[in-house]
Structure 1
Amino acid sequence: MPDSLARGLRRAGWLAGLPALALVWASATLYAAPRIAERLEAEGAAVAAGTATETGEPWLRLTVQGRDLVAAGEAPDAGARAATLFRLAVLEGPRRIVSGVGLVETATPFAWAAIRLGPGRVALEGSRPVEIGRRALEARITGALGPGTSLDDTARAARGAPPDFPSAAAFLAARLSGLAAGGRAALSDTVLSLSGEAVDVPAYEALRAALSEPPAGFSLGRVEILPPRVAQYRFTVEKKASGIVLDGFIPSAADKRAAQEAAQEAAQETAGAAVDDRLVTARGLDPAIDPKGLIAFAFRLAALIQTGRVTFADGAVSVSGDAIDGQAIPDAEALMRDGRPGGVAAGRISLTARPLSPYRVAIRRTPEAVTLTGHVPDVATRERVLDALRPRLFREPILDRTRLADGAPPDLGAALAAAAPLVADLAAGEASVSDRTLTLTGESLYREVAARAPDRLAEALPPGWTGQAAVSARQPAERRDPATCRADFAAALAGADLRFPAGSAVPDPAFYPVLDTLAALAKACPGLRIAVSGPADPAKAAPTPAAGPGEGAHPAAPPEPEPTRIASAAKAAATGKADAKPSGKHDKAEARPDPKGSGKGSTKDAAKRGNPAPQKKPEAAAEEPPQDLPRLRAQAVVEYLLQAGARADQVSVLTDQAPAGAVTFALLP
């Protein structure tokens, strides 16, 4: 051996043998370790097989880590656990036994969950029924998830599972396949919950459809499924002759309901229009844009077109189609300029004004308001219709949403003015005009008004117009027994204080709610007989005139009578010359003042003509109110009840005069 090599080896000493020793150790490990692991697995499997339960599966699960045996599972009791661990301990091969063996307990609540970890990987945690083998349950879940899915199952066997747990677990696992990583499907006793983000739009719709029918015996708890995110968010409102089409995306179910409600309201403006909802829930709208504000803005633009489309795409709103009239084009430009929601850009406006065909306008009555929609040729026509409505409405506001447009049929103003009283007589309904055809539809509180509607419409329409009336009457929901009828009669009059204005036989508007209630009661109680007694006016004491110079004191003068014109107005109102007869919706009677100049300056003019001035008529000689004023008042109340739907044999006038004050009612046997 060369001297230099020998000297090097002497300096290295025993370190020179380490590489050879490492090589020997590695060779032994690679050769012997697998054989040791195989032997440990075989010995452990024999012990695990001895822990088989009624399900046919052992509760003990063993894994080998080098020369260590790791034990897991849930023993049925402490004795079984101790015996099993002892059998593992006496094996010759293992270096040590790492125990994670627990005991089967009762889980309250019984909770189980499946979490998607990523593509093809799902983790199971919580509790599983001890009555079901682990491998059997995993096979059921894997079948619902799809082939190729690996399970990381850490669920522990426990008692207290709800009935038909496997079906609920499989149902949740199937829903989990539509969620992205992080999605969670869980069960707590019989309550199912689901959370996560849908992988795409079809999966989102399928999830919502499937969750509408949970397994029998189970209910839905917290469901928080985020819609998928789309790269190109769009929203469209399209108006067609057949109706309104909603298309594109919507961020949430609440926003979808808002769009549907707006579409239904817009569709009501056109008879027979339908709503075709094709919206799909998805994310992707700029967070700076309010979804409901965008929806409202789109429908404000859509209200300006007959047919066409309002589209939101690439952050901008555009509108195209046929405008409802020439005024709509500058209105759309102004709305696009000043009314856009924050974050929304202005797109293209491509509108064409075409002649209106057909020419439409409608008067619609609801319990909340009376609304005019459509088109009128000029302001004068609009005011004519409003003037025909105002005197007949006391509580309901009148909303004018008409627009001006050319092309109206002849006599449109006359036709609408004639239809206004008919609409006012309805509880709900409308009069709609399409060119020279007027259609009256709705519901009346009274059978008589409903029966007369076709004839009244035919008489009121101008020449050349055609009309159709379909008015139904509300019928009482039930017939009440006599005792209930009398009790309801007393309740209807409790606190009622119906007093006529002095000298008048015209019912005050405050009478209407009480009289309507009595009329409805008469229709529900055919055997009810109501008698009405009208009151007289209270007597008034006239002031004592002061004694003039050289005159002694005079006795008190008799009570001063009401002025002649009031008595005349009362008699005229009761006989029908004044507008005292109430309509189905209570026409308002207005007191008209005496003509101007009826007495002013007459004495002075007579003196100029050389005629002596007329002597002042003594107050005692003034005309008295009509002696039959109480009877006229009672007749006015009876007439109202008859028009409101009571039968002629159900109401009558009492011959006895009621004391001064309020109208009195009585039930006849």
Structure 2
Amino acid sequence: MLLAAAIHFSRAPVEHDLATRSGVLLVQIGESWAHASFDGRDALLEGEALSEEARVKVRSELGRLAGVRSVSDSTTLLPERRPFTFTAIRDGAQLRLEGYVPSAWARRRIADAAEKMAPGVVVAGVKELVRARGVPAGDFVGVVVFGIQQLARMPAGRITISDDAFSIEGRAPDFTTYDELEVTVRSELPADFKLARFAVLPPAVSPFVWQASREPDGVRLSGYIPLGDARRSLLDMVRAAVPGAAISDQLRLADGSPPSAGWLKAVDFALQQLGRLPNGKVGLSDTTISIEGAAPDFAAYDAIAGARRSVPEGYTLTRFAVTPPTVSPFNWSVIRGSAGLRLTGFAPSEDAKRLVIDAVRAGFPGVPTSDEMRIASGGPGAEAWVNATVFGVGQLAKLRSGAVRGNGDVLAISGEAQDSAAFGAVQAALSGQLPRGFTVESDVRPPIVSPYVFGMRKDSDGLTISGFYPSTLGHAALVEAAKTELLGMPLNDVSALALGAPDGFEKATLVVLHELARLSEGEARFDDTKLRFSGTVLYEAAIEQVRSSLTAGLPKGFALDLSLNVAVRRESSDKAACQKAIDDLLARGAIQFTPDEAAIAPASYGLLDHVAFAASGCPDAMIEVSVQQATTPDGALARARAVTDYLAHAGISPERLFTGAPSAVAIQNHDEVGPVEPGLQVIVR
């Protein structure tokens, strides 16, 4: 019993010692998967080996351990897995592990790394990791931990290990993280493993912008480029658009682009325009396109401007800031002819030209318009150019034919007005508010009319002037003479300015006015060079006097058609009434004499005819004529005699006429201007 007790109590320490030393040994030789238990000094080896070599190694090393008498091998081989895979999937605060591990020790290491990946991360699937044979050579646990560390930089992602191939995917939260991930994964992946796939997406950007600009040494690309193989296609497009140019590629991969196929078409369209702009810049922002630069010549500008009509489908050209070539002088014109309207020269912009064309179509509906304008720089600002040209087009609409021509800041309007009203409207516009910043020159002519008609009608209501006159100065002189010679009669002027008058027309109207003033009523009408003169003279002898005066006074080439009758004289013995009638006439007009002081001016024939008619109404009265003093008493007497002679020729019996003593008031000579006090007294006695 004592022997049995001694053996029993001495066996337990031996087994414990052997178990402890065998566990340390298995760890030291890297075979911790195995476990040894002892019955006395006899070892029982258990566990799942990764290979037969590992089983042999464990048996051999354990058999050489001091104190071990025998080794019984109860180990088995783990199932082999091909491929040997492992996956870690992160979705926010969730991390799930799947696949195979070579050992429990590897599982613990991986679980520890997963729990430390980020604060608050919940790890799932650790217990479901399956131990298996087939682990690739190298530090498998190290590559798993490396992958988990990269997942910690992304809010969501996945790493996959398949044998010795490592893949990572997900979306980086920003460009810094994306760059760091790409560098780390490509350069620090543990040895014996290779990168099979880097599918980490860059951040999504909005707006998705891209830009290409010409520089002295080539083309600089900046902004973003879509995922995939867009970069290679884009670089080929740059080389085709700007052959031989050095390319500075500063593009960043980014997500959020429009569909790549359409995006590349839009980029190709923009680069084709960039090839025509030596210092240009083009860009895309989502689905909008911008083009900027200075066109080197009209061919380049026309090509770029024409391309605006072929923007790729789904895209919009929102900024077109291409400066056209500079020209000097900067001139343009809108010409109206029999075939329609023709626009030539230069416009400062497409929009400015379109506004002018709209104004032309509004002012000339249905009139054919030929647009030959080119876009150029070097002229007035677009707004000022439009305002000036539209102003000119407004005046051109009032012309039968003509042109609006611009040269720098000078606007010239020329042509023939459609009619007198239109001519007046143009003149009013030119005397009103003109386009700011422009000097306006005008050569607008009145309309040419044929036949050229003009008329003056004298009746109880006054004098009516109608028809056309060739100049404002000549017409003003005629109106002023009418006011004097017709003794202040009401004047109704409905005539208008027009060209086409025959030579000597203005002289003819003055001659006619002198004779019309002699009539009690009458009318003179011109039809080109034909004059029809009709009315009622105040005494018989006046018919031949008027005929003679008109025949002698009308310019060469004018034809006279005369039709006159004689007014009926009403006799009276009321001398006071006769005197009042004469006094009223002399109060309304003054007798004018020629410079030789003794001859009566033709402009006074009408007044004297009416004085004679009034005096003839009192056949029994004596008529005393006295002229206020002229330069000399003899001159005054000579003028008085001239008046009495005129009255005698007008039918007043010479026996009734005599001259009175002169007064001290000067009279008006024929060459003086403006009314003076009457220089004649005709006294009925």
Query: Please, what TM-score do these two structures have when normalized by structure 1?
Result: 0.36
Q: Which has the higher strand share?
A: 2
For the pair shown, the structure with the greater C-alpha radius of gyration is 2
Query: Please, what TM-score do these two structures have when normalized by structure 2?
Result: 0.35
